[in-house]
Amino acid sequence: MRSVEFRYALHRRRDVPLIPVSLRTGGKWKEVWAYIDSGPFYSIFDDKIAEILDINLPAGEKVLAVVGDGGFIPIYLHTVGIRIGEDEFSMKIGFSHKLGVGFNLLGMDIFDRYRVTFDHREKKIIFERYE
């Protein structure tokens, strides 16, 4: 198994599992930060990221995602290129103008590709790619 390790990042004076990832449509890559979260079924990014990548939001598949308070937000699924460390692949990512948590989310769909270890004591997160 290949692995890549990230240090937690400081967010609002706390160390959290926030990592840099790159997204791509066409030939345009954009590095963004995403919080690793086992809660959401889909990875969800702010709609401003879709705008930067020239993604036509409403052209994607519209689904409703449950949020922490039990409510729903609309997300639009688009297949984009993603890079975590040196690993590049394509996956469906949701984009929403209602995300509202202050950061992008890498959700449970990423756990299909990687074994993810949260080492809270050492303030690091390890992604081991399934072969």
Percentage of residues in the chain having pLDDT higher than 90: 83
Query: Is this structure's pTM higher than 0.85?
Result: yes
Q: Residue 26: which pLDDT band, with cuts at 50, 70 and 90?
A: confident
Question: Which alpha helices (DSSP H) does the chain contain, by range?
Answer: 47-52
The pLDDT score that the predictor gives to residue 1 is 58
Residue 108: predicted pLDDT = 94
Average model confidence (pLDDT) across the chain: 94
Q: What is the mean pLDDT of residues 9-37?
A: 94
Q: Where are the beta strands (DSSP E) in 1-109?
A: 3-7, 9-11, 14-16, 18-25, 28-36, 44-46, 61-66, 72-84, 87-96, 104-106
Q: Which CATH superfamily is domain 3-129 in?
A: Acid Proteases (2.40.70.10)
Is the pLDDT reported for residue 130 higher than 80?
Answer: yes
Chain segment 38-80, per-residue pLDDT in tens: 888 999 999 999 999 999 999 999 999 988 788 899 999 999 9
CA-closest candidate to residue 65, choices 47, 48, 42: 42
| Per-residue pLDDT tens over the stretch 85-123 | 999 999 999 999 999 888 999 999 999 999 999 999 999
Q: What angle do CA 8, 6, 35 make, to 5 degrees?
A: 55
CA gap 6, 37 in Å, rounded? 15
6, 4, 22: which is closest to 81 by C-alpha?
22
Which two tokens mark 3?
Answer: 């692995």
Return all residues near 30 (Cβ < 8 A) that are at least 6 apart: 22, 23, 24, 49, 52, 53
Domain range list for the chain: 3-129
